[in-house]
Amino acid sequence: MKQRKTWLAVLLAVVSMAVCALLFGCNQKTCAYTVEKNEETLLVVKADETKTDVSLFDVLKELAEGKEIELTYSESEYGAYITSVNGTVPDAAKGEYWMLYTTLTTIEGDEMIYSSAEYGSYDLSGTVCGMANVGASSLPMVDDCYYVLALVTLSW
């Protein structure tokens, strides 16, 4: 009888953990962030905490899995190549491209320069976001930084 109670207690504990994981684990974000704008040709994400082991691409995939955005991409040895956002596919013949801008320039203790307005910028209601020097797969989430995916037309 005592052995049966022990097995019942173990079973109840396992079921309780599984229910908690289903109820709470699926809703946990990889990083705290806010979607500031989500439009056909513009997506703006703001990081609400620093997690340098979480990339912007991780957040984009999470948003897509949660059906908050539509995202298509291909993987390469250099990282993800974003091919469409919210169903919008750029027309390269018209000079359209998804460009990535951010307010993240450097991280203390890291020699990497993540963006530079010298090569291009995006004005986000008075906040200047520099063109990213790395792709979304290599762009860490840093508190209070903005990440902008904008459909732009380049004229050569």
Percent of the chain exceeding pLDDT 90 equals: 74
pLDDT beyond 80 at 19: no
DSSP label at residue 27 = G
69-86 per-position pLDDT tens digit: 999 999 999 899 999 999
Does the pTM exceed 0.75? yes
pLDDT band at 54 (very low <50, low <70, confident <90, very high): very high
CA distance 103 to 53: 18
31 in helix, strand or coil? coil
Mind listing the pLDDT tens digit for each residue in 28-50? 678 899 999 999 999 999 999 99
DSSP one-letter string for 58-123: HHHHHHHHTTSS-EEEEEETTEEEEEEETTB---GGGTEEEEEEES----TT-----EEEEEEEEE
pLDDT tens profile 20-31: 333 334 446 788
pLDDT band at 111 (very low <50, low <70, confident <90, very high): very high
- In this prediction, residue 2 carries a pLDDT of 55
For residue 151, CA distances in Å to 76, 100, 106 come to 21, 9, 25
> Residue 148 phi/psi, 5° resolution?
-120, 125
